[in-house]
């Protein structure tokens, strides 16, 4: 058996320490003993222990366990994720319950059963590993949540994106499930992150799982997690994305790729807020906000029998349609400038600027790959630019005769429809419509005349 984990044994009885060390050293990388709990702070500061096996009493004739509870608090102050197992010759249900409530992982009686003690410590090590994994994922997600790209790319200045953002602001504070539709590269994940950022869960993790990135068997283990030994390669217990996302937001990208079998399991989790890791019958409660995204028509998939209708109802309490970049041309300059500023730092070209003709070329392209393609093109032009200015020749896209016309035509058609629908929503009230559109009343007059509305 491969050794793993670092164990600290604390007891004032040297014979007990020796017995524990002999019993456990074959299972763990480090098994250190100490007979004085006063040394615990120093050892924690200078060592990285996964489990501490801690005696509850150190003063002669004292049987209350208060000394052990004191050191439990001190240990958890230093490292909240460390596993602490109490060991005592004076057990009692009340004391055991008190210890567990204050953060202890488990409770062992003296004299102990060897097999049970080994199993208890091994489980405590796995628990420590799972806590560390969850902590790392949360820290990673917190870093991503603060990423400045979210706000700039989501909101934009185009009227069509203003309408999308209005929906986001209305639903973010609720617990409603959200389904985001949009072509590849339009920024569906960024919309999901913006919903999370504006929600009451914004100080909790945002956890993403791309349904299309995993085969069915692997996706199931990623979503639900697994116990050690659940399958051939499951050498240690692992928390799933559901568990990590609890209290936060779970984002399932490309939900249309979810198999029919797993659709049923996901529906059960959504309805009951409970799940089991693979290889375990223990029910775990989870509380998460669900946001999903797809570039496929789930309604058509329902008609073909490829997607559960009851699951679709659960997913799309709120539906957000994310427009392709060709329908939000007015946002392109700001997006380009953002990418240029970000990437010229990355490639250490602080003086680099974009020429007007280069910007015009970017604006007039139809962008089948949307925002993702735009960023790649800008990055390529920054890398390839030989001077301090990016010209149209540095922009590696193929223009055709109709691309500029089609881009503008799509924009005008969508703007006209958007103005018309807003006027209908406001029952023809121009002041109200202008305010809703975020433009001046005189600008609205001009658009009405321009589009003959």
CB 58 within 8 A of CB 12: yes
d(CA 305, CA 299): 10
Instruction: Give the pLDDT score at 146.
Output: 47
Tell me, what's the pLDDT at 390? Answer: 93
For 378, the 3-state DSSP assignment is helix
H or E, element range at 285: strand 284-285
Domain 6-133 class in CATH: alpha beta
User: In whole angstroms, how far apart are CA 398 and each of 284, 392, 394?
Assistant: 53, 11, 12
User: Phi first, then psi: what are they for 133, rounded to 5°?
Assistant: -65, -45
Per-residue pLDDT of the chain (453 residues; tens, 9 = 90+): 678 889 999 998 899 999 999 999 989 988 999 999 999 988 887 778 999 999 988 876 667 778 889 999 999 888 888 999 998 887 677 777 888 888 899 988 888 999 989 999 998 998 888 887 776 666 555 545 444 455 555 667 788 898 898 999 999 999 999 999 999 999 999 999 999 999 999 888 899 999 988 888 788 999 998 888 888 777 777 888 999 898 999 999 999 999 999 999 999 999 999 999 998 888 889 999 999 999 999 999 999 999 999 999 999 999 999 999 999 998 999 899 989 988 998 999 999 999 999 999 999 999 999 999 999 999 999 998 888 999 999 998 876 645 544 555 555 666 777 777 778 878 888 888 877 776 777 778 778 877 777
Strand segments (E) across 67-182: 83-88, 106-109, 178-181
| CA distance readout (Å), 115 to 56, 121, 125, 320, 347 | 21, 10, 16, 55, 58
Write down the pLDDT at residue 150.
53
* 219's tokens: 């996706």
* Cα–Cα distance measured from residue 356 to residue 389, given in angstroms and rounded to the nearest whole number: 10
- Pinpoint the residues of the chain covered by CATH 3.40.50.300: 146-323
Helix (H), strand (E) at residue 284: strand 284-285
Nearest Cα to 277, choosing from 234, 218, 226, 239? 226
The domain 146-323: what is its CATH number?
3.40.50.300
Torsion of CA 352, 358, 359, 362, to 10 degrees: -120
* CA atoms of 347 and 353, how far apart (whole Å): 13
- How far apart CA 157 and CA 151 sit, in angstroms, is 12
CATH class for the region spanning 405-451: mainly alpha
Q: How many CB atoms lie within 10 A of CB 69?
A: 18
Query: Which tokens hold the place of 359?
Result: 């910007």
Instruction: Give ranges for CATH 3.40.50.2300 in the chain.
Output: 6-133
Distance CA 445, CA 21 (A): 84
Is the preceding peptide bond at 111 cis, omega within 30 degrees of 0?
Answer: yes
| Range 326-399 classified under CATH 1.10.8.60 | yes
Per-residue DSSP letter, 278: B
Cα 165 to the center of its chain, rounded Å: 21
């Amino acid at each position: 058996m491969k050794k793993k984990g670092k164990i600290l044994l604390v007891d004032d009885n040297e014979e007990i320490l020796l017995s524990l060390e002999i019993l456990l050293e074959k299972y763990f990388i480090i098994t250190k003993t100490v007979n004085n709990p006063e040394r615990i702070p120093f050892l924690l500061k200078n060592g990285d222990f996964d489990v501490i096996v801690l005696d509850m009493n150190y003063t002669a004739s004292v049987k209350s366990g208060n000394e052990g509870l004191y050191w439990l608090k001190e240990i958890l102050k230093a490292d909240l994720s460390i596993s602490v197992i109490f060991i005592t010759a004076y057990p009692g249900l009340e004391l055991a319950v008190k210890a567990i409530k204050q953060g202890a992982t488990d409770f062992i009686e003296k004299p102990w059963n060897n097999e049970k003690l080994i199993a208890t410590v091994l489980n405590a090590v796995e628990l420590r590993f799972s806590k560390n994994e969850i902590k790392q994922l949360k820290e990673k997600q917190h870093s991503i949540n603060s990423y400045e790209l979210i706000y700039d790319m989501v909101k934009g200045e185009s009227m069509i994106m203003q309408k999308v953002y209005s929906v986001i602001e209305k639903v973010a504070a609720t617990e409603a499930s959200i389904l985001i539709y949009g072509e590849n590269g339009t920024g569906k994940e960024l919309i999901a992150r913006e919903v999370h950022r504006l929600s009451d869960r914004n100080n909790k993790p945002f956890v993403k799982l791309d349904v299309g990135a995993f085969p069915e068997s692997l996706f199931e283990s990623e979503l639900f997690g697994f116990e050690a030994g659940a399958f051939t390669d499951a050498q240690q217990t692992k928390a799933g994305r559901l568990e990590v996302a609890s209290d936060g937001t779970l984002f399932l990208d490309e939900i249309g790729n979810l198999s029919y079998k797993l659709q049923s399991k996901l529906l059960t989790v959504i309805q009951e807020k409970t799940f089991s890791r693979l290889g375990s019958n223990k029910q775990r409660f989870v509380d998460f906000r669900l946001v999903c995204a797809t570039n496929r028509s789930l309604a058509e998939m329902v008609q073909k029998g490829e997607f559960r209708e009851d699951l679709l109802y659960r997913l799309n309490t709120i539906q957000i349609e994310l427009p392709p970049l060709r329908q939000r041309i007015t946002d392109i300059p700001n997006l380009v400038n953002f990418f240029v500023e970000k990437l010229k730092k990355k490639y250490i070209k602080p003086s680099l600027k974009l020429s007007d003709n280069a910007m015009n070329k970017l604006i007039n392209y139809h962008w089948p790959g949307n925002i993702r393609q735009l960023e790649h093109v800008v990055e390529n032009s920054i890398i390839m630019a030989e001077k301090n200015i990016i010209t149209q020749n540095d922009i590696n896209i193929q223009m055709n005769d109709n691309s500029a016309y089609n881009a503008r035509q799509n924009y005008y058609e969508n703007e006209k429809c958007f103005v018309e629908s807003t006027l209908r929503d406001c029952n023809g009230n121009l002041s109200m419509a202008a305010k809703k559109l975020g433009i001046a009343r005189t600008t609205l007059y001009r658009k009405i005349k321009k589009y003959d509305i």
